[in-house]
A and B are shown apart, each in its own frame.
Chain A
Amino acid sequence: MCVPISASVLLAVCGVTIGIGARVLTRDLDLEVKGGERWCVLGPNGSGKTTLLHTLAGLRTPRSGSISFSGRPWPAWSLREAARSRALLLQHQSYAFGASVFDAVLIGRHPHMGRFGWESARDRQCVAAALEQMDLTALASRDVLALSGGERQRVALAAVLAQDPQLFLLDEPTAHLDLAHQARLFEHLVVLTEARSRALVFATHEYNLAARFATHALLIYDDGQVLAGTGDELLGEDRLSALFRFPLGRPVGPSAQVFAPRW
């Protein structure tokens, strides 16, 4: 399990234990993320979804175990190389200074720019395409500080798309997004990952979105236990009810594909 068997394995996680202070968040996690797969990370508040994503991105050293990307452990990657291969969407966006939406998205191209950091025509094309994808073209010259929460989230997502990585690690990508933009984002992520060279891992509280778009699931419980498997295996009402400690069911009838809380 711990030696990648096929070349399509992008991310190989091997016996990883993650903790903060005295708390163990995930214990002995083994995981393989292959090209073409979309993993959702589900769990209650404070179960360690964000910490796990940062660790998977190679930005945090696990307490034990190792994480390899394309067969090479993260510590062997340079920061810049790693940034060209995987992108991390943070849960919170903060802008200390005003900047145009275009410039804010251009930040995502940084790992691809030359030594002196001037953008090429290709960088500008990538930004324009990402803006178009996130429905931001009309806002390109607006100041990010003047945007709404959902618009800022789309700016951050556009920067991640412009970064053009093989592995997308997205922490609550649909936060603040309206339904149309949630669907548009995930339909695009499906197109990107279906090419088989890219993969997606996203943490979310939107279990219906996860059930609709994820091929695989990672359930993180409060006690550090983690279940990994395909969506069909893991995304059932009993498991989700236990995970969230709240009864969930599938209403009978035409909407039988969705989960609903049993208030």
Chain B
Amino acid sequence: MRAPRSARDIAIALALACAVLLLALATGSQGISLPALWRALASAEPSLYADVVLDLRLPRALAAFAAGGLLAVAGALMQVLLRNPLADPYVLGLAGGAGSGALGAMLLGLDALATLGAAWTGALVSVALVVWFARRSFIATSAADEWAEPLRLLLTGIALAAGWAALITLILALAPDASLRGMLFWLMGDLDGAEAPLPALAGLALVLLLAWLAASELNVLTTGEERSRSLGVAVQRLRLLIMLLAAAATALAVTTVGAVGFVGLIVPNALRLASGNDQRVLLPLCALAGGALLTFADTLARSVVAPMQLPVGAVIAVLGVPAFIWLITRRAARP
């Protein structure tokens, strides 16, 4: 009953992702028809189309895809870790931590690898703080505790995110004028400079693989700590793995596209409603649909008011906020 449905859902998401990638390649100041796109991709001869598509649009589309997939997978992992569908790398301050780390590294003039390391460190500090403050939700023994936890968790995340925002403001105030504009654009979510999508794509594949190998245990973890231990899951080790993966995914996404919110919140929750909460299916779906969503948003961002470009973070928020409110009301209305 379930296996064919899962295969169908993944096939749909895969088709959607391919369609959005093709749309991203065909859309722009120079519109390219699908047959022309195919000829440009298939032929080895250099042409204007081939240059535009392969050197400009393809790397950018793939970078957006990888970052969107990473953010959606990070969101799904955080939601399982905290057993709370409202958890998200952006809301809980992971992205803020990664952004602060990355900006701090930029301020010190460090190279790309060190920037990524600093972003990962910032994101990890955030996860660790959230988990520490919200640890009571793991040992909640009464129904009353469990109802109080989501609020407590969100308030903790908001406080952390505000703290990181203050730190980012401080870094911007200290930054020399020459690098200020670049930092600001990066903060708004900027794919303009994304030209090397391979590290992010490889990161997405690795994070997805490692998370997927633990997917069955993640399913058990959604039922609580004590139940998981009684069912043979090494809870502490699994939590550490999730924290490392979610922080790494957020850091990689943030250093690729800057701060982009909502992907980690909307995508896993929408997929849960559409396809259920089996992490073995949900995680690959998140990678595909998150990637498709951010690629689509970036295509809009660079084509709606062309030749001007909008920050992709703002486009995602315009799409994401109404979608999320719709999801919440729909969920409440279900029998």
Contacts and interface: CB of A to CB of B under 8 A. Distances in A.
Interface of A: 54, 57, 59, 78-84, 87-88, 90, 92, 94-100, 103-104, 107-108, 110-111, 113, 116-118, 143, 146, 163
B232 A94 contact: no
A97 B220 CA distance: 12
A110 B216 contact: yes
Nearest to B269: A97
Contact of A97 (B2, B141, B272): B272
Interface stretch (B111-119, B128-136, B163-171, B222-230): B222-230
B215 A79 contact: no
Given A92-B142, A94-B140, A108 B85 contact: no
B192 interface: no
A121 to B, nearest CB: 11
Given A94-B223, A107-B219, A88 B230 contact: yes
Nearest to B227: A90
B35 interface: no
Contact of B277 (A81, A99, A110, A118): A99
Contacts of A103: 2, 219, 276-278
Interface of B: 2, 79, 83-85, 140-143, 146, 213, 215-217, 219-220, 222-224, 226-227, 229-234, 272, 276-278, 280, 334-335
A111 B231 contact: yes
Contact of A110 (B83, B85, B142, B232): B232
B232 A79 contact: yes
A163 B226 contact: no
Contact of B234 (A79, A116, A118): A79
Q: Which of B2, B79, B230, B234 lies at the interface centre, i.e. has the most chain A CB atoms within 10 A of its CB?
A: B230
Contacts of A79: 229, 232-234
A90 B215 CA distance: 23
Given A98-B272, A98-B277, A116-B216, A110 B140 contact: no
Contacts of B272: 97-98
A59 B230 contact: yes
24 contacts: A78-B232, A79-B233, A83-B231, A90-B224, A90-B227, A92-B143, A94-B83, A94-B143, A95-B222, A95-B223, A96-B223, A97-B85, A98-B272, A99-B222, A99-B276, A99-B277, A100-B276, A110-B216, A110-B232, A113-B216, A117-B280, A118-B216, A143-B334, A146-B335
Contacts of A100: 276
B232 A118 contact: no
Contacts of A99: 222, 276-277
A70 B85 CA distance: 41
A108 B213 CA distance: 19
A96 B83 contact: yes
The 3 closest A-B CB pairs, nearest first, are A117-B216, A83-B232, A96-B83
A87 B231 CA distance: 8
Given A83-B231, A163-B231, A107 B278 contact: no
Contacts of A143: 334
Contacts of B278: 103
A110 B276 contact: no
Nearest to A104: B223
B232 A92 contact: no
B146 A94 contact: yes
A79 B228 CA distance: 10
Given A79-B229, A110-B233, A118 B280 contact: yes
B81 to A, nearest CB: 11
Q: Which of B142, B231, B277 lies at the interface centre, i.e. has the most chain A CB atoms within 10 A of its CB?
A: B231
Contacts of A113: 216
B212 to A, nearest CB: 9
